[in-house]
Chain A
Amino acid sequence: MRFHIALFLAGVITALPPCYGQVKTSSAVASAKASVESTQQTLSTRVVAYQIDARLDPTKRTISATETLRYRNLTGQSQQTFPFHMYLNAFQPESTFMTESQRDNPDLEWKKEHFGAIRITHLEVGGTDLTSQIQFIHPDDNNAADRTVMQINLAKPIPPGAEVEFKISFEDQMPQVVARTGYLRDFFMVGQWFPKVGVWWKNAWNCHQFHQNTEFFADFGTFDVKLTLPQNEIVGAGGDLVSSINNSDGTKTLAYHSEDVHDFSWSASPSFTDVEDSWTGSAGTVKIHLLMSPGNMSTAPRYMQALKGTLGLYDQWIGPYPYDRITVVDPPHGGVQAGGMEYPTLITADTSWFVPKGSLLPEAVVEHEFGHQYWYGMVATNEFEEAWLDEGINTYLEVKMMDALYGKGKSVFNFPFLQLDDDAEQRATYLLQPDTDPITRFAWKFYDDSAYGAVTYGKTATVLLTLEKLIGEETLRQALHTYFMRYRFTHPTGEDFLKTVEEVSGKDLHWYFEPAIYGTQIFEYKILDAHSEPLKWYEPEEQGSKPGDEIYRTYVTVQRKVDFVFPADLKVTFDDGQSVLEHWDGRDRWMRYVYDRKAQLVSAELDPGHQLLLDRNFYNNSYVVKADGRATSKLSNIWSFAGQLLAQLFAWLT
């Protein structure tokens, strides 16, 4: 279908008078054909083709570059106005990003090293200099001082199907790393560094300002990037290295090419140690580069193991990884702000010179950031408006994969004296702020950064973990596989995801999605009452009666404390060794179960499978008749010991 439309459009364009200098009328048909043919061979619909020639000055921390962007107008409409992201301008004190950061962190200090900027020195389209036409717009908050979105109006509109070529010269001033991108000592993490055109989405330009809680959204295409920098710099980039040429002035020029991606980032430091390996999956061999910073080499094998394990599980559970490379950048000490980030085929990790083996945090970061190659990298959802679709789904799979790779119950901390599971960590994150914002809120509209983190990561993961109770773990995995295979290299929405889950499970789940995804309802069930008493309670107890002689009536009452309705299992155990499993739909506020038998109650437990992770209080989900104070004693021992030792340390003053 796309072939015929393209041919028709090409014919229309050919018939038009050649007054649009930027439209390649003479080669429209050829380029349309080539585009279609390349579309049929390519993984994505390539809307953009960037050619960037950049030079890094590590002393001044600047990048001077020229960019040629060829944009294919596949919007179906003529376009005359084009918005561009200018993300680096966020690192200025009056920007929206910094203003919001200070709002949520009043102790935030501004240092001049944190200043970052991107400045366009020349912009030309079709031979016309439009530099003076650049306007900064503020579609989200009317902050006139924010310069993270610029807009350019062309002299003439670009017809649908045609291409437009932007020639841009720009200069970057890299900030000392505040968030994601910047320098630290001799290290550079260069992300969101070039003027990036917005996305035509849902019949309008989608090009939000850069906020404290937002990430990125861009179209798929190709990148041909040349980097000129000192010869001693070791570089990792989100592309295949095509050539490396040493220049006579002590620099070298590295040329990279990348296809079917929506961003290009790179990192450089003369202090990196490059650890290479490879992994082979269903789509072929993937070259792995770990760029390790000084002092962190002991973590390299751990990163590698986590990465390969994750590659394998994603290949098995979700779908093939189609690229031939992945680079892991290990930020230097003090550079944690550059860590834990994802770019197409390049991720940044996070560790320290000493991390005990029982702490799996470095592994979890690598697992999570690689997961973004799928959720965001290939399934390129709008991170401004639906951050949960990449962060939340990715966090859910992080929990599952960490369990698979490192063991359930100990996938974050695994010490003999202390354990922490990733699902417990995500649940705890969610419960920090469970009721301020729905999952579906636009990222920059969350109450604050804590709420954004708690809900987007923790709550979404917990919602999906609880969803397993309704449709099964295997079905949910199948749904994710289907969603990935159907929507990779496109820009799906939350509705697309939820409909896929319903389709694969064969169930109408809107009653669950409504409170869990779109609402802020809290989930809490409890055992309200559980006890046994003699059926003939009015008769005196018989002397010499044996257990099992008398009939007892057992009452177990369960309660839904708040508004989230969900079916739950109830397991009632008696002292004759028997147990009963009930299924409660949770619709009424409470339900009483009554049993008459020659046995007394031992325990009652809601959700014996421990699947309702959304429940904010696990402790009231069960009742045991016979008290066991050992857990209390254990905790009391610990705080008493700590207190006694503290008292003696204070007494050092005497």
Chain B
Amino acid sequence: MAGEILYSGLGDLRLAETLSTQFMLLLADRNWLGNHPALFDAGDVSGTGSTVVKIPQIGLDGYDAAASAAESGNSANVALTDTSTTVTVARQTLARETSGLAQITDPGFLTSPTWANDAFGAMNARMTNMITALMSGFSSSVGSTGVNLSVANFLAAKATLAVNNALDSTPLAILSSVQMADLMAELATTSGGAVQFLQATADLVQARGIGFQGQFLGVDLFSSNRVPTANAGADFAGGMFTRGAVVTAFGTPFVEDPTQQVAIAGRILFERDRTARTDLTAYVSHFYYGVAEGQDLRGVAIVTDA
């Protein structure tokens, strides 16, 4: 037999590879916190005259207990205690730039909607990076270096908040995925179901943010691989905190030219910047955001084995 038409012989009629119409995302931690109520949003700096927001802390509503006095004795003045926390907003940015030829040959992957979604994901990742970086900074801590996170550590963290009068709202624990797995393993193998873990539902994930794992002992659990290491990399430094430990602020971007700019979710300025001479088109996004540690005693670092 001869003259068969074989695939391997059709070098001018077939291609070595064709591009799929679908693509896969490269692996990354895309969990984000959303607007969890444990984050204290100090608001918008737009039009305030400063990039810094000062949040007063005032000793009211039970900070000072009333004292007894004799029937006709003087009521002594009680001094008002105050302090403050500040948060500074700064520009966070992402730029992508493509050539005309790259755009012409693109089958639909790298279009302006792709870059808009990319900007949204990038800013969420940046926000999560900035917030998780604060976990290792709390002065109070639980856990032992080189030892897996245990239920006892978790309870001790909650107890520390209670001792500090900080357990007045739903706490949020931000743990690395390793810490989360250690906690789940301990729950599954040692507690015998005596303590209940409330698995996150789709609705709750929608409301609390991707990465929300559920609730354990009244504490919302969030897992992220953006949690930093501690002790020369031997451990992860997650944390548990209540509203006021982490303060955030933002700036609303100004859309000057709606034909080239759009404010995504009202917070991210996404714009197209065309350079005709070099046939390059840049998609640049800016997000004005700041985070800071507020009341230190409202947070506990959870430092356990990496």
A binds B: no
